Structure 1
């Protein structure tokens, strides 16, 4: 029997109410996102830092009498000291180096050795590089005047990058402070994350998904940032012991390359070539070259050992997520990418491993159209059982 006009009006009104509510919720969500968007990176970095440092916070809290606020404050102050002191020293060193270079150029005290003859025999760029090098060795002033527009553009680009680096440093400092507040309420935050995950993925899967996200962020922090830091120490120690000019700056560049998932050999190989060219082959220089070459490849051994440790997904999934997130979202994508890919991978396999529903009859209601006794206008509803596919 066809639906009555009354049921049609009720169905249309119910559908209209649903559409209006969905539209209002969508508008509210868009407005909330636009208001929250300027603080998105700051909040994401705060959560990432809080999740990464929280195990240290728990150990320190247990040793000082279960005081979460004091433990979080100590960690934030110590982290700020570890960040600000090297950054200050690096800035002073860069300013002094730039000032010395400018004074040497203005005073004519900069001496560049003449290029060797074999440079001119290099394919494609050999002769041009030899000519520019020779002009720099004989007449630096005219060379600077010749390339003055390019030097001005490079200077502006460098200043822009330094300004961006300063803004990123400020964001990181504020994120570290907010992370301290999050760690102080870590237990409540953990319960809230499990409640949100349970609401989205179900009561049985929610806690496991929340634990997977936490473990993935910590694994990336250990396997990417931790490995980059270890590699920076290994390479930087060799630079310092050998007396390589600008050893601290080069070590910092190695750290940034490691975080960006670029090979450290981009720095170690030119430094090895520089040392061999300036000091010549000897036992010390050959030992230095072998050590730096091995240290530059150390991440290839450490990544399989540390990147997927403690995560309930294969290590290639985390690595692909880190690389893809880095390409699409920058440094913060380095953490977001593995989390999203790991959650998607785990949900996919939970769906695959879920057993199919057993066949059982399902009761549905069919309108018979027969009037009910004692109720004018009402029709009878007869249950009909059909097998479930």
Structure 2
């Protein structure tokens, strides 16, 4: 009854139970934990340099790195968020006053369509333009109500956000200071061969670092270019649309086009050919090239994943995990590919294992 096999089985069961229970406790703050780990991986090289320059004072180096992370990441996000909130309130007032009317914009586009296009709409049952506009307006009204509801929810959850933010900064400090020891403990605890464990953990850190740096660089570049272009062309709410383009650029290939393409179509429909061609040129040859050049270089090259895997894993991750999914999706995809590479090479001997990064 007290055999070693029974003891081991009981211990493994207990280990699984307490691990699941601990994960359950951390579940409400999973986003804070994930971003603290991601930022720790991203800023660890800076922390190591500071440790050398500060004579091995790890606490001071970790605190300095935390301040740098706050200045580089947190403060710009807060400033942009406040500016966007002000911009949204201005745009909302203009929509209520009628200065901005998406219904009239759509009507102008329909009125500019040639007869063959109208016949094509009639053939597909879309000829009732007024009814279609009514449905679009109704959908816009429901969307605004939904946004207002979420805004109230965000206001009610401000305390929870502040708690999560505080946990993230607190955990980031200790991950920076003790990250090397924690990583060593994980490597020694995992029931895998040491070369396999080392390879998978290196793949994990490489993908997180490349994904965050690459996606943030692409989002910032596309958002800035799009916002400047909209401001130059006289589009109202240029800052808001620029931020939306940056956010949607997390969807590779098609993200920013969801904003600038309809505006270009509108300019073309109302006869403003110059603005339309300018925006199309900027969208295709400037914003598009940023996505097609920077993303493969910063994300695909370091992660050693094909572009289509990066695309599918990013979209799938965002669909399942929200904004956090643009990091979680590629990480899962990279670990999937790395694990199968190890499995395929395990039958050919350790010497044929994929090279360590």
Interval containing the TM-score (normalised by the shorter chain): 0.7 to 0.9
Aligned to 1:274: 266
Q: What is the match of residue 70 of structure 2?
A: 76
Higher share in strand: 1
2:147 pairs with 1:155? no
Find out whether 1:43 has 2:43 as its counterpart: no
**Structure 1: distance between partners of 2:334 and 2:327:** 11
Q: Which has the higher contact order (CA 8 A, sep 6+)?
A: 2
CA distance in 2, matches of 1:173, 1:31: 21
**In the alignment, is the contact (CA less than 8 A) between 1:104 and 1:110 conserved in 2?**
no
What residue number does 2:248 align with? 257
Q: Is the 8 A contact 2:316 2:329 kept in 1?
A: yes
Distance in 1 between residues matched to 2:159 and 2:228, nearest whole Å: 25
Matching of residue 124 in structure 1 with residue 121 in structure 2:
yes
Q: 1 CA distance for matches of 2:223 and 2:159?
A: 19
> Tell me, which stretches of 5 or more residues in structure 2 are unaligned?
351-357
Determine the structure 1 residue equivalent to 2:354. none
Any idea what the Cα deviations from partners look like across 1:239-293, whole Å, max 9, x if unmatched? 11111112111111111211244432221111112233446224x6533431223
Which is helix-richer, 1 or 2? 2
SS at match of 2:300: coil
SS of alignment partner, residue 238 of structure 1: helix
Q: Does 1:214 align with 2:208?
A: no
Q: Match for 1:91 among 85, 94, 99? A: 85
Rounded to whole Å, the distance in 2 between the matches of 1:173 and 1:235 is 34
Q: Distance in 2 between matches of 1:156 and 1:104?
A: 18
Alpha-carbon separation, structure 2, partners of 1:40 and 1:131: 45
Unaligned 5+ runs, structure 1: 1-8, 134-142, 358-389
Structure 1 residue 302, shift from structure 2 partner: 2.7
CA distance in 1, matches of 2:30, 2:5: 35
Distance 1:96 1:90 in 2: 10
Question: CA contact under 8 A between 1:223 and 1:303: conserved in structure 2?
Answer: yes
Residue 159 of structure 1 and its aligned partner are, at CA, apart by 1.6
1:352 aligns with 2:344: yes
State the alpha-carbon separation in 2 of the partners of residues 169 and 275 from structure 1: 44
Helix, strand or coil: the match of 1:196?
helix
The residue aligned with 2:329 is: 337
Is 2:295 aligned against 1:289?
Answer: no
- In the alignment, which of 13, 29, 33 is matched to residue 23 of structure 2? 33
The answer as to whether partners of 1:43 and 1:175 remain within 8 angstroms in 2 is no
Q: Can you list the C-alpha shifts for 1:144-192, whole angstroms capped at 9, x where unaligned?
A: xx99986764433122343566659974994487247525652521231
How many residue pairs get aligned? The number is 331
- Report the TM-score, using the length of structure 1 for normalisation: 0.69
Aligned-residue Cα RMSD (Å) equals 3.9
Contact 1:52 1:218 in 2 (8 A): yes
Q: Is the 8 A contact 2:227 2:239 kept in 1?
A: yes
User: How is 1:309-328 mapped onto 2 (pairs within 5 angstroms)?
Assistant: 309-311=301-303, 313-316=304-307, 317-328=309-320
CA shift in 2, pair 1:246/1:124, >3 Å: same
Larger radius of gyration: 1
Q: How does 1:98-109 map to 2 (within 5 A)?
A: 98-104=92-98
Contact kept in structure 1, 2:39 and 2:172, CA below 8 Å? no
Cα pair distance change 1:117/1:231, threshold 3 Å:
closer
Q: Does the Cα contact within 8 Å between 2:32 and 2:167 map onto a contact in 1? A: no
| Alignment CA distance shift 1:117-1:257 (3 Å) | closer
Question: Per the alignment, in what secondary structure is the counterpart of residue 307 of structure 1?
Answer: helix
Counterpart among 208, 214, 224 of residue 215 in structure 2: 224
Q: Distance in 2 between matches of 1:111 and 1:232?
A: 26
The CA deviation at 1:42 is: 1.8
After superposition, give the CA deviation of every residue in 1:93-114 in whole Å (9 maximum; x if it has no partner).
Answer: 2213323443459xxx999587
> The residue matched to 1:259 in structure 2 has which SS?
coil
Provide the C-alpha distance between the structure 2 equivalents of 1:285 and 1:64, rounded to a whole number of angstroms: 55
